[in-house]
Structure formats: C-alpha cells, structure tokens
Structure 1
C-alpha cells in the first residue's frame, strides 16, 4: 500500500501526485483506521473543525463538507493512518487528505525530555507545530528515543511530541495540570472517560520528570493507543504494574466503531 493524496476543490476531493507545496500546516488531525473501524471519530472531527475555525477563514460548511468527503474516501479494509490538513498555500488555505498506510504499532516507548524548552508556537492546536515536532522526533530517534517529552519553563511535564502523557500513582490515574497548555488529546480524553465510567480515581498535577519516579507512565495517541514508558533517558526510574496497560488497551479498543 502506498500513500495517496487528495485536495478539496470546494466540491470534491481530487487525487494529486503528492502533498501540495505549502508554507505551513495550520491544522491537522489523524487517527487509526483498521478494517473500517475507528475510535472516537466524532472527537477527532470536533477537534479538527475547531482548529479550522480558529486558524483559518474557511467557513464551517466548507470544512464540514471536506471532512465528510475525507471520511467517505477512507478504505474499509486494511490498516491506515489518514491525516486531514488545512495547509497554508500562498495567500490561501488548502484542505487536503493524506491517505497513509499505518506504521507498525507498539506497546512500549522510550522517552527523553527536550533539552531546549518548549518548542511549540501554537500550544493548543494540532498542526502549526507538527512539522517542527516531527523533526525533533526524528532527531531523537538517532539516540534511541521514540518520543521526546515537552516540559514547561518550570520543568513540569506537559506533553509528548506526538502524544499525551498520563501516569499512575498507585490506583489513581493522573494527567498534567489543565493549566499547562497543550493540544486536547482525543486518546487521553477517551482513557479518562473510561476511568470515570469504571470508578477509577483520576487527578491532575504539576509533575517534573523526577516526580514520576516509581510511577507507571503512559504515552498515548490515536495511532498506538497506550504505550508504556520503559525508559526515560537521563530521567526517573519508572514502575510498572503487569497487565494494566494491556487491560486498558482492551477497554480503549472496545470504543472502536465502524466508519459511517
């Protein structure tokens, strides 16, 4: 399976040989599609449309029409990791769909804190920083790090470069304080909703990497779901409860629904 690319003409999606030349990504969203099933598609839709409304002048009807056409284009067989974009192309905005085969999924991840502070420019919208963070992730991979971790100026864990961060203190599930500005993670939100539905205590806190010593730490996103952090380069030694991540991944997978 090879990637395919489509642009929105205002009436329909038209396939192109490659991603349109652009000066930047204004908004982006992506999710895993496996044999026509997807988790929390409505939440991805809502996040993308909010981003388009805040970052572009595209009207809601156009954005919603593009979204529906993109969903209609998705294959109902195989594993895919599609991405929808609002791209800055000259003085205009182009809506585009990247239909990409899904990469190999994993259940564990190696992390390291970013040394040079928070690299993000737009902290609450997925898109404007996606290429910058992707480059940092590729650079980190050369040092056997799968996911760089963003920390605040005060040293508190905020987010992963392409994921959200959650952690366990005993039987209580924590997320970074909501006052630490970050993209609204669909997967982290889904896990916290599952926690609420199952009577699991949750909380938010300010935590430095050192504060997470002994905790089980998860890096979560729409592609992999839950990955357990197995090493934190120059960081804390972490704990792990056998079978917990796998059990919660099964709960997360139970949210998969067929594409409309």
Structure 2
C-alpha cells in the first residue's frame, strides 16, 4: 500500500482509487487511530464505535470491510488511517502519520455549536475542521466547544480531561459528544491504578490553575500549555510523561 492512498471496498476487496473518485456524499461514519510499528491502542473499541454507528442494513458489509482494512495496514512505520462510510461506500484512507506533540494550546469556541450529530464521529468532521482553522488564527491548536451555559464539552478533535489533585475529571456523560476511545482508556487506566475519577460541569474559568489534558487517538495525551484568552493552567512535574508512558504500554500488535 502506498502512503496517503485511498481504497474503496468493492467486490469484497480493497481497490485503490484516486481522490477524484471519492464520492462527494457526506460522511455518515468515520473512525481513525494511530498505528505505530504495527501496534494500536484499543483497536477493538475503535471497531465497535464504528460498527455501532453504521446503519443496521450495512452492518455485515461494514464488518468485512473493517477486517480487511486492518489486515491491509502496514506493520512498519507510523500511520494514521481513517475508515469511512459515505452513502453506500466504505473507504480506507491510508495517511502517513503527522508530527506528534505532547502539548497543545486551546481556545474556547463561543459561537453556535456547529455539530449536527455530536455523538457520532464522521458527519461533522468538516465543520470541526473549520473550528480548528479558526483556533489556529488565534494561535491555538484546538478549539474547545462549550454548552450554551458555557460548560466545557470537548475539543474539536479531542476529548478533554483535568485533574483535581489526584482525581481525574471529565465532562458529564449527558453532555452530547463523541465517545472518545482515548479518554475512555485513560479513565479506565486511572481506575485500575486505584485513582478516583469524577464528572463535573465546569466553565473554562473554573479550570484555572488546574492541569488540563486534551486526548485523542493521534497524539494520545497532550497537556494544555496555554488556554488562549482563558484561564492560566498548571502542570504537575512528571505526571504527563508518566501517563503517556502508561498509555503507550497498552497498545497491542494488530
């Protein structure tokens, strides 16, 4: 397989197509994950999230496609593939892995929520990408979406977690957002280590002097180094490195 290639599931096989052959139909479902030297974190959860979002009539085809997509991924090097459902077509995008970072600057997005299906990964990727462009124009890497009341929900391309002492916290479950595989993995790891976890509705201002993380499948855990036009954040020395190592150790060979 070649880098940055696109493959269509057709006649029970993956066939490479040009970008011009990709249907203009909006994405119904998508999922992506980091592959590093043939290892992936919580691939079963990515698979389940993707299949759960696929319409029932396409579920059997989706299972065959996903299995073939995994089998086709390179086992050497670093990649960030994405599986997609567009209308009736399943696609695999094989993308060379971009630069990975340990920190991120964030900014609160205060406009109207652009998400049309906030609990499904895929339909809103383009709209969330526009949020990222706006964030970068203000010197930030990630836009943080807020409720109408100003409470933190999630980042455009990340989930958000924070620490209250030794308690790992996140937004309330009832806040509509994508079920982040990475956030779920981090929270599960915390509980396995005997740490308490907690859900709370917070405004950015209520995270002042708090260690805040944005987490996703590409970068894993990134610490928020600055909240642009927002609260001053903190960092406990050594914690980020320790947790990035712990999370990385959970990756398994595909």
- The reply to whether TM is greater than 0.5 is yes
Matched, 1:258 2:231: no
Runs of 4+ displaced beyond 3 Å: none
**Cα distance in 2, alignment partners of residues 219 and 10 from structure 1:** 40
Instruction: Indicate if the aligned counterparts of 1:10 and 1:62 stay in contact, CA closer than 8 A.
Output: no
> Out of 224, 231, 237, which is 1:242 matched to?
237
When structure 1 is superposed on structure 2, of 12-21 and 195-204 the one drifting more is 12-21
Deviations 1:136-164 (A, max 9, x none): 21232122110000000110000000000
1:9-88 mapped onto 2 (5 Å cutoff): 9-18=10-19, 20-53=22-55, 58-88=57-87
Q: 1:58 to 1:15 in 2, by over 3 A?
A: farther
**Cα distance in 1, alignment partners of residues 243 and 177 from structure 2:** 23
Residue 38 of structure 1: how far off its partner (Å): 0.6
Deviations 1:141-198 (A, max 9, x none): 1221100000001100000000000000111100001111100000000000000100
Query: What is the TM-score of this pair, normalised by structure 1?
Result: 0.94
Residue 10 of structure 1: how far off its partner (Å): 4.2
Q: Which residue of 2 aligns with 1:208?
A: 203
1:85-124 mapped onto 2 (5 Å cutoff): 85-88=84-87, 93-124=88-119
| SS of equivalent residue, structure 1 residue 111 | strand
Instruction: Indicate if the aligned counterparts of 1:117 and 1:150 stay in contact, CA closer than 8 A.
Output: no
Query: What is the TM-score of this pair, normalised by structure 2?
Result: 0.96
Q: Which residue of 2 aligns with 1:2?
A: 3
Residue 40 of structure 1: how far off its partner (Å): 0.3
In the alignment of these two chains, the number of paired residues is 252
Residue 87 of structure 1: how far off its partner (Å): 1.0
| SS of equivalent residue, structure 1 residue 59 | helix
Segments of structure 1 that go 5 or more residues without pairing to the other structure are none
**Cα distance in 1, alignment partners of residues 116 and 123 from structure 2:** 7
Q: 1:183 to 1:10 in 2, by over 3 A?
A: farther
| SS of equivalent residue, structure 1 residue 101 | coil
**Cα distance in 1, alignment partners of residues 26 and 58 from structure 2:** 20
Matched, 1:180 2:175: yes
Segments of structure 2 that go 5 or more residues without pairing to the other structure are none
